[in-house]
């Protein structure tokens, strides 16, 4: 890896809601934020003023040309622009921290991984749920062998009324890549992280779109309803993935489904212990009232043993920690929390989930 800086200077691309967490994490890790770019210049200027960032630009290219001291960028824009903006930044020799999903599909993710390799730059994605205290704790136990071999896992991010607006980019497949399967991919990624990111073989999945235009199912966040615009993504998906190792994973993701409440969880069953990492949002749906659980289940001396692992709360859901890890990783102080190869595998699974849902048959990953 070339470019091992002693101090990281960052340019932020996109004044979206995640910008505040990226900025807090980068600064906590000692990085400087030199500039902010957004095609909506007023949005760039507003965030720059709020966050005390010296310069604002209307184009990411202009920012990189004007600020040679920037050696890393973070990308916080609608999904369709992740790959082209990451490719341009990598080509210009900058490290990249990109919001999830990595890209619209595996083809784009592969091109990004190849460009990072060619440039000798770090490419990481904001899989912030890996940086949650309970996820880090569980991963430590798994890596120490506490669970044995994880045979099976269930990845779930389900919402009852969580469609992020109608007719905006989230519900437009060409701009987003898909609905909750791609938007709420965090638990799929987290389950794979615990399982050791095995090589996927088959996906069998079904998507549902009964509620995708039903205003009753709009979430409290996202874009306001547009009068026009495309709404061509799923509102729920149930799927099953088989890996070449014989491991299996069940996934459920929804923006709109008739369930009791929102649930964000990974459960798994290993040869030595099972495990659960779960966030239950408060009934008001906000981070501050959420409860997190981290538990291991084993059978010892003829008895059922349930271990509750208590970790500090993190209202940011690992978002600040994930951004800080990016800076520490490019400065060689920490292992990156995720790799481009994992992002490609994740997108291959998502492509296969959509292919299976379309054909009604198992799809090769
Ligand atoms: N990790 C998380 O928890 C989390 C949560 C929410 C959103 N996200 C991700 O963050 C990203 C942005 O989502 P959002 O809701 O903030 O979107 P958004 O629609 O609010 O857009 C963010 C900003 O990007 C700007 N923009 C659009 N195209 C651009 C381009 N080509 N170059 C520069 N700026 C451009 C827009 O003007 C806007 O200000 C998405 O990829 C989304 O999946 C992640």
Task: Summarize the confidence of residues 320-330 as an average pLDDT.
Answer: 98
Q: How far is the CA of 350 from the centre of ligand 1 (A)?
A: 20
Co-location of 327 and 354 in the same domain: no
Tell the residue nearest (CA) to atom 31 of ligand 1.
81
Co-location of 149 and 286 in the same domain: yes
The span from the CA of 139 to the CA of 133, in Å, is 10
What does residue 267 show for φ and ψ, rounded to 5 degrees?
A: -115, 150
- pLDDT over 60 (residue 241): yes
Question: What number of CA atoms fall less than 13 Å from residue 50's CA on the CB side?
Answer: 13
Task: Summarize the confidence of residues 141-166 as an average pLDDT.
Answer: 96
Co-location of 78 and 138 in the same domain: no
The verdict on pTM exceeding 0.85 is: yes
- pLDDT over 60 (residue 73): yes
Q: How far is the CA of 16 from the centre of ligand 1 (A)?
A: 5
Q: Is 132 in the pocket of ligand 1 (CB under 6 A)?
A: no
Give pLDDT, residue 287.
Answer: 62
Co-location of 193 and 107 in the same domain: no
Q: Is 103 in the pocket of ligand 1 (CB under 6 A)?
A: no
Q: How far is the CA of 35 from the centre of ligand 1 (A)?
A: 17
Tokens of 68: 């040679």
Give pLDDT, residue 261.
Answer: 86
Give pLDDT, residue 6.
Answer: 73
The mean predicted confidence, pLDDT, of the chain is 95
The span from the CA of 322 to the CA of 325, in Å, is 5
CB 298 within 8 A of CB 273: yes
Co-location of 62 and 149 in the same domain: no
Instruction: Print the domain residue range for 223.
Output: 133-313+346-364
The highest-confidence range among 172-176, 225-229, 285-289, by mean pLDDT, is 172-176
Co-location of 110 and 159 in the same domain: no
Q: DSSP for 303-314, please give it.
A: EEEEEEPP----
- pLDDT over 80 (residue 2): no
- pLDDT over 60 (residue 161): yes
The span from the CA of 255 to the CA of 252, in Å, is 11
Q: Does 114 reside within a domain?
A: yes
- For the CA of 40, the closest atom of ligand 1 is 37
Co-location of 292 and 222 in the same domain: yes
Q: In what helix (H) or strand (E) does residue 352 lie, and over which residues does it extend?
A: helix 340-359
Co-location of 326 and 301 in the same domain: no
Q: The domain that contains 138 carries what CATH number?
A: 3.30.360.10
Q: Is 293 in the pocket of ligand 1 (CB under 6 A)?
A: no
pLDDT tens by residue, 113-136:
999 999 999 999 999 999 999 999
Q: Does 306 reside within a domain?
A: yes
Q: Is 322 in the pocket of ligand 1 (CB under 6 A)?
A: no
CA 127, 128, 130 angle in degrees (round to 5)? Answer: 80
- pLDDT over 80 (residue 1): no
Name the nearest CA neighbour of 346 among 108, 143, 72: 108
- For the CA of 79, the closest atom of ligand 1 is 41
In the chain, how many domains are there? 2
Give pLDDT, residue 282.
Answer: 72
- pLDDT over 90 (residue 290): no
Tell the residue nearest (CA) to atom 30 of ligand 1.
39
Q: Is 38 in the pocket of ligand 1 (CB under 6 A)?
A: yes
Q: Is 43 in the pocket of ligand 1 (CB under 6 A)?
A: yes
Q: Is 182 in the pocket of ligand 1 (CB under 6 A)?
A: no
Q: Does 2 reside within a domain?
A: no
Q: Express as a percent the part of the chain with pLDDT over 70.
A: 97
Of 97, 98, 99, the residue with max ligand 1 atoms within 8 A of its CB, to mutate for a pocket test, comes to 99
Secondary structure (3-state) at 286:
coil
Co-location of 46 and 168 in the same domain: no
Co-location of 243 and 282 in the same domain: yes
Residue 199 per-residue DSSP state: P
Task: Summarize the confidence of residues 25-29 as an average pLDDT.
Answer: 98
What is the residue whose two structure tokens read 């080509």?
91
Higher pLDDT pick, 308 / 228: 308
Q: The domain that contains 26 carries what CATH number?
A: 3.40.50.720
Helix 19-28 to helix 319-330 angle (10° resolution) is 50
Q: Does 4 reside within a domain?
A: no
- For the CA of 38, the closest atom of ligand 1 is 34
Co-location of 146 and 28 in the same domain: no
Q: Does 239 reside within a domain?
A: yes
Name the nearest CA neighbour of 349 among 197, 208, 217: 197
Give pLDDT, residue 220.
Answer: 80
pLDDT tens by residue, 78-90:
999 999 999 999 9
Query: In the structure, what pLDDT confidence band is assigned to residue 23 with cuts at 50, 70 and 90?
Result: very high
**CB-based burial label for 8 (10 Å; 0-12, 13-18, 19+):** buried
Q: Does 340 reside within a domain?
A: no
Q: Does 341 reside within a domain?
A: no
- pLDDT over 90 (residue 285): no
β-strand 263-270 against 150-158: which pairing, if any?
A: antiparallel
Burial pattern 25-36, b for ≥16 Cβ within 10 A else e, equals bbbebebebbbb
Give pLDDT, residue 167.
Answer: 86
Co-location of 275 and 211 in the same domain: yes
Task: Summarize the confidence of residues 98-117 as an average pLDDT.
Answer: 98
Long-range own/partner contacts, residues 271-276 (CB < 8 A, 24 or more apart): 271/147, 271/148, 271/149, 271/151, 272/145, 272/146, 272/147, 272/148, 272/298, 273/146, 273/147, 273/148, 273/297, 273/298, 274/147, 274/298, 275/138, 275/141, 275/142, 275/147, 275/194
Q: Does 339 reside within a domain?
A: no
Q: How far is the CA of 86 from the centre of ligand 1 (A)?
A: 14
Secondary structure (3-state) at 278:
strand
């Amino acid at each position: 890896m070339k470019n091992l800086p002693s101090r990281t200077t960052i340019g932020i691309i996109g004044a979206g809601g995640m910008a505040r967490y990226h900025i807090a994490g980068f600064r906590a890790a000692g990085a400087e934020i030199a500039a902010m770019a957004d095609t909506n210049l007023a949005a760039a200027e507003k965030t720059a003023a709020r966050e005390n960032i010296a310069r604002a630009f209307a184009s990411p290219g202009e920012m990189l040309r004007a600020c040679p001291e920037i050696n890393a960028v973070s990308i916080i824009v609608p999904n369709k622009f992740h790959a082209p903006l990451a490719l341009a930044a990598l080509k210009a020799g900058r490290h990249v921290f990109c919001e999830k999903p990595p890209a619209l599909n595996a083809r784009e993710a592969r091109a990004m991984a190849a460009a990072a390799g060619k440039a000798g730059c770090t490419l990481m994605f904001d899989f912030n749920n890996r940086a949650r205290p309970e996820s880090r704790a569980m991963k430590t136990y798994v890596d120490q062998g506490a669970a044995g071999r994880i045979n099976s896992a269930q990845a779930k991010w389900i919402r009852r009324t969580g469609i992020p607006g109608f007719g905006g980019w989230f519900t437009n497949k060409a701009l987003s890549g898909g609905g909750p399967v791609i938007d709420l991919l965090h638990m799929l990624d987290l389950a794979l992280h615990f399982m050791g990111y095995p090589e996927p073989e088959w996906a069998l999945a079904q998507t549902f779109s009964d509620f995708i235009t039903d205003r009753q199912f709009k979430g409290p966040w996202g874009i306001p309803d547009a009068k026009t615009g495309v709404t061509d993504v799923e509102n729920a998906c149930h799927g099953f993935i088989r890996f070449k190792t014989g491991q299996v994973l069940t996934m459920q993701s929804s923006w709109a489904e008739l369930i009791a409440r929102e649930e964000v969880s990974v459960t798994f069953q290993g040869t030595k212990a099972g495990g659960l990492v779960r966030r239950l949002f408060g009934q008001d749906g906000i981070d501050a009232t959420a409860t997190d659980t981290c538990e291991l289940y084993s059978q010892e001396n003829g008895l059922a043993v349930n271990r509750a692992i208590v970790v500090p709360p993190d209202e940011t859901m690992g978002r600040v920690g994930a951004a800080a890890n990016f800076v520490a990783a490019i400065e060689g102080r920490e292992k990156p929390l995720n790799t481009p190869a994992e992002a490609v595998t994740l997108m291959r699974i998502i492509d296969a989930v959509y292919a299976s849902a379309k054909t009604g048959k198992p799809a090769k990953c």
